[in-house]
Amino acid sequence: MSIKDELNYVKNELSADEKVLESAFRLESFLKKHKTTLSVLIGTLIAAAIAYNGYRAYRASRLEAANKALATLQADPSDAAARETLKANAPALYEHFALLEAARKKDAAALKALENSRRAVVADMSRYSAGALEKRPEQSRLYRDLVLLEKAYAALQQGDKKAARETLALIDARSPAASVAALLRHATIGAK
């Protein structure tokens, strides 16, 4: 290499080193200028991470307590402490358990109490189950076709074949209850 090339090389190297030092000085001045803001931001991020992990641990402990309480209730449904634990830690699961217990025991009073549930599924199922216990078809979104079958059967028992046929016509052909509806429709043959 010639001296001129070496001089340009050294000059470029010094220029690159200057740029690195200049960047370091700019970063240092930026950090000094925004030290408080950056500290608050980092502290907030750390506090948020700690709070998030704490909340996850809290939810996991509630879920574990609810699972233990449900397992206890499945073994012994009369355990009041497990019932309260489940009610406190998982209210939705408690209502479903209470619905199953009331339906199993055919407890109309408990089913009526669950009719006012905020959970639409529990309210609908308990209303239908209470109606079934009292032999009166109740409107139900979940058991719509069964309610129609019950109404048609009641009409057949009263001898009103026309009303039964009209009620059975409301059941969709793709419904699981369609085969039973077809059997009941056979009972209306020859009706005026």
3-state secondary structure the chain: CCHHHHHHHHHHHHHHHHHHHHHHHHHHHHHHHCHHHHHHHHHHHHHHHHHHHHHHHHHHHHHHHHHHHHHHHHHCCCCHHHHHHHHHHCHHHHHHHHHHHHHHHCCHHHHHHHCCCCCHHHHHHHHHHHHHHCCCCCCCCCCHHHHHHHHHHHHHHCCCHHHHHHHHHCCCCCCCCHHHHHHHHHHCCCCC
Q: Which of 21-30, 105-114, 123-132 has the lowest mean pLDDT?
A: 21-30
Identify the top-confidence range among 61-75, 125-139, 146-160.
61-75
Confidence at 59, pLDDT banded by 50, 70, 90: very high
Confidence at 190, pLDDT banded by 50, 70, 90: low
Give the pLDDT confidence of 133-145 residue by residue, as tens digits. 887 777 888 888 8
The arithmetic mean of pLDDT across residues 169-190, rounded, is 84
pLDDT attached to residue 150: 87
The arithmetic mean of pLDDT across residues 100-113, rounded, is 89
pLDDT attached to residue 10: 65
Q: Where are the domains of the chain?
A: 63-142, 143-192
